[in-house]
Amino acid sequence: MNDGMKFLSTRAIVLLLIFPSVVQAQKIVIAHRGASGYLPEHTLAAVAMAHAMDADYLEQDIVLTKDAVPVVLHDIHLETVSDVAKRFPDRIRKDGRYYAIDFTLSEIKQLKVTERFDPKDGQPVFAGRFPIWQASFEIPTFEEELQLIQGLNKSTGKDAGIYPEIKKPAWHRQQGQDISRIVVEMLSRYGYKTKTDRVYLQCFDFEEVKRIRNELGYRGKLVQLIAANGSGESSTDYRSLMTREGLQAVAKVADGIGPALQHVVIGPNNNTVKFTDLVSTARKLRLEVHAHTLRADALPAYAKSLEELLHIFFVQAGVDGVFTDHPDQGVAFVRFLSRDP
Which residues are near Ca ion by CB under 5 A? 61, 165
* Of 200, 251, 252, 206, the residue nearest 227 (C-alpha): 206
Q: CA dihedral defined by 326, 330, 301, 244, rounded to 10 degrees?
A: 120
Q: Among residues 115 and 165, whose Cβ is nearest to Ca ion?
A: 165
Residue 174: strand, helix, or coil: helix
Facing residues of 69 across strands? none
Task: Round to whole Å and give the CA distance between 184 and 197.
Answer: 14
- Given 32, 77, 263, 326, the catalytic residue: 32
Q: Which is nearer to Ca ion, 61 or 205 (CB)?
A: 61
Q: Kindly write down the DSSP assignment for every residue of 190-231, as one continuous string.
A: TT--STTSSBEEEES-HHHHHHHHHTS---SEEEEE---TTS
Confirm whether 51 is a catalytic residue: no
Catalytic residue among 42, 74, 172, 326, which?
74
Sorted by sequence, the CB contacts under 8 Å of residue 206 that are 6+ apart come out as 224, 234, 236, 241, 249, 250
State which residue, 107 or 320, has the beta carbon closest to Ca ion.
320
Q: How many CA atoms lie within 13 A of 254 on its CB side?
A: 31
- Residue with smallest beta-carbon separation from Ca ion: 165
Q: Please name the helix (run of DSSP H) or strand (run of DSSP E) that holds residue 288, with its range, or none.
A: strand 288-294
Q: Is 100 helix (H, G, I), strand (E, B) or coil?
A: helix
| Helix H or strand E encompassing 51 | helix 44-52
CA distance 58 to 296: 18
Q: Give dist(CA 306, CA 288) in Å, integer.
A: 22
Q: Is 32 an annotated catalytic residue?
A: yes
What residues contact residue 189 under an 8 Å CB cut-off, 6+ apart?
none
Nearest distance in Å: CB 226, Ca ion: 12
Catalytic positions, written as ranges: 32, 74
